[in-house]
Structure 1
């Protein structure tokens, strides 16, 4: 009877082989090191990768030996930089390690041109793509003006939790804001459990705690709520009260990006969404 190796073992060995192959293709000169006269190792030595990544030599050696050790996102980020990985190789590294890439401003691979076209075709239904940190990665014309004028915001500001706790226009549009504050903080805490050490998550948390006493208060309750849809009322500044059903369509694992849509729950809301879409500027 043939036994099958556990998936974790397969991943560790694939990761080890991938790291070894990337290490062996890089010359010392590419990373600012001096090539000694007696060098026989193809590419970099393990101790050189460890030095460039600021990790222990023994620990890195165990990683290439596929030993069962924990690898943080920060270490993976350092290894990716030390080994000069391109974007595809970097995604592969994090995928093999079973970790989310913490690099800020990394384009979401799920927001493809086809998905952006689908967002546009969903108009006048408001729709966007969010990640598990509640960053708004892409959106259509109706969603752009559903709660606040997203086009006027810097990309770093386009985060639902940040806007809910710091943006007066967003807050004025949301009915039952105190309940929404509690729900968003609880959802963020539940999502963050898998990303506690990742820089982008820690940065968002620090910004929220520094900017909002309300956030600090609800965050201290340690409430958690899983992802899911919800019936919502939104007071849109342009067309009035909207009665909507918020739904999520996951584009990958539950911790990954999702397509968020808002479906009208009555005829008046449907007509008002059409008027809201009509206010969108005509593309040049």
Structure 2
């Protein structure tokens, strides 16, 4: 509790600690992005789609646009807490926990087009997030913005003079991709559970995903094999129709995903 004149202000210590951890997460993730972008990286002015975007890239851009919309709506109704929570959720869950982890193999072994695409998307997400956060965290966002690779012809050397993100400039919303990503995250959760259950600390096992929904399996195999492999910390991911196709030496997750999918991990060869 802190006394301010005759009024009493409630301070939640846990919230202060959580905010400190978020600041550290923002700093460390920004540092990682700078190291991967490289000194020779030149961001497009303005940012635009290249045509090489994967479903994962389109998903993160869609969620970025939704975050901008929610933040704009919350600020217009003077709901500062809701606006800040939307930005934190996007940065924590979507950028750090999902997108960055999923694109690490691309940054290492992807084609030049794939690498350039994810770098442009990374830079755009970081730039926009810093602009969204600037009213709430002016000093930290200013410091990170100063180290951000600037777009050609950009005269906004300080984040204070940059335009605040407006919903009309973020028209990449594809909400149907959230359904696919919800399935992907649930599958990875089951795979990580099996890793913990059988104490696979460093080894990367092969994963099989079975389902009676052939359309879903084809979509996952076509668009999300690489993210599934990275996020589940697996050696490989394959897809089979029906439970009867599972070979010996595999263990199955206790839960099904989306009422149709089950995860199987190879323990013996």
TM-score between both structures, scaled by the size of structure 1: 0.29
Question: Which has more radius of gyration?
Answer: 1
Bigger RCO (CA 8 Å, 6+ sep): 2
Structure with greater helix percent: 2
TM-score between both structures, scaled by the size of structure 2: 0.30
